[in-house]
Amino acid sequence: MRNFRLYFKQSATYQLYLLFTRQVNDFFTTLGDITKKTADVFSYIFKFEIDRKAVLEQSARFGVSSLPITLSIVGMSAIIVSMQVAGEMVKQGAGNYVGQLVTMLIVREDGVIMSGFAIISMIGSSLAAEIATMRVTEQIDAMKALKVDPIKYLFVPRVVSGIIMMPLVVIVASVVGVLGGAVASSIVSGLSYRAFFESVWYGLYMKDIQVCLAKAVVFGATIAIVSCTCGYNAKGGAKGVGIATTKAVVWSFVAIAIWDLLFAAAFFF
């Protein structure tokens, strides 16, 4: 029996079992940490204990630094969709609905999702790497020794900047996407700009814009909290920084996909 146990522990099945249990344990541990950090951050926000100078610094980083890549991704995706949709719809006599379809796609999904992905890739990974480096170099431990709350000093300004700047980035990106869609539709199908924007005017509702902005607020807060939490829990030196950064990106992608599903089910189902 003893030999069987030793053999079983060296088998691929047992190693797979250990990997699975570690992954499950890590998932629930990370989820609990994110939930706790969210409660701590918003307790400071609701009490207005916010460093305005730090918020301005992080807002410039969150919004301005990410704007070029966000506009590029949203604009190109809108152009690609328009190129594939406009020509076929005009052939089928549905040219008057091209602007409405393209704009609804951009406002409801493409603009905010692609903006979220761009910000995760550029800003979320940067936040995680920065805080992870502070963790492994014991700077966070030094803060605690000096009676400085890392949640208030590190998390709150970044989360507030995400809440403020993400909607602004999404608005600019969506406008660029709609304009790019109009140009692409005109080039591909010969659809006039007037027909495109009349379709937008009659097909886009205030509810679509409100839901888009609500998504942007939630996405901005989620990206900041998840990235900061993964960085905060880093350990193991330079390798730990890399693991924390990768973990932050993956968790942020999954989180905004789940939020998007919940918003779609709540408002458009």
pLDDT digits (tens, 9 = 90+) for 49-82: 888 888 998 888 888 888 888 888 888 988 888 8
Does residue 166 surpass a pLDDT of 90? yes
Does residue 226 surpass a pLDDT of 70? yes
The encoded tokens of residue 57 equal: 């610094």
Does residue 1 surpass a pLDDT of 60? no
- CA dihedral over 39, 42, 44, 46, signed as positive or negative: negative
Q: What is the pLDDT of residue 6?
A: 62
d(CA 78, CA 87): 14
d(CA 22, CA 248): 18
Cβ count within 10 A of residue 107? 24
Q: Rounded mean pLDDT of the chain?
A: 86
**Residue for token digits 């431990």?**
141
- Averaged over 179-197, what is the pLDDT? 85
- List CB contacts of 246: < 8 A, sequence separation 6 or more: none
**CB of 163 within 8 A of CB of 217?**
yes
Does residue 217 surpass a pLDDT of 70? yes
d(CA 88, CA 239): 50
* This prediction's pTM: 0.88
**CB of 74 within 8 A of CB of 176?**
yes
**Own/partner long-range contacts of 203-209 (Cβ < 8 Å, ≥24 apart):** 203/97, 203/99, 203/100, 203/101, 203/103, 203/104, 204/100, 204/103, 204/104, 204/107, 207/267, 208/104, 208/107, 208/108, 209/107
- Averaged over 32-38, what is the pLDDT? 89
* pLDDT > 70 fraction of the chain, expressed in percent and rounded: 94
Does residue 4 surpass a pLDDT of 70? no
Does residue 42 surpass a pLDDT of 70? yes
**Sequence ranges of the domains in the chain:** 52-267
The encoded tokens of residue 184 equal: 């692409």
**CB of 223 within 8 A of CB of 124?**
yes
